[in-house]
Amino acid sequence: MALTQLHKQEIITNYQVHETDTGSADVQIAMLTERINRLSLHLQANKKDHSSRRGLLKLIGQRKRLLSYIQQGSREHYQALIGRLGIRG
């Protein structure tokens, strides 16, 4: 199931840098994380869905690249973001 417009707006307002921000790296990472979490739940129930598994791996790679971009800029900001998202154990 895709993200609803209301849920997307909620994620954007929680992670935006300024009030008109809709596409910063923080927002993109938060959206990808939500999609990854939903897809992971789907794959737990549908173990043979290999096309979705490939899509999940692509999303994880994209999120990894965005996270490394944030980490290059500011290590503190990176730590705060992954803490808020609850990723990287």
Domain spans in the chain, listed from the N-terminal domain onward: 24-85
pLDDT score at 8: 94
The CATH superfamily of 24-85 is S15/NS1, RNA-binding (1.10.287.10)
Contact 81, 87 (CB under 8 A): no
pLDDT digits (tens, 9 = 90+) for 46-67: 999 999 999 999 999 999 999 9
Contact 48, 32 (CB under 8 A): no
The helix/strand/coil state of 28 is: helix
What is the CB neighbour count within 10 angstroms for residue 54? 10
pLDDT score at 89: 47
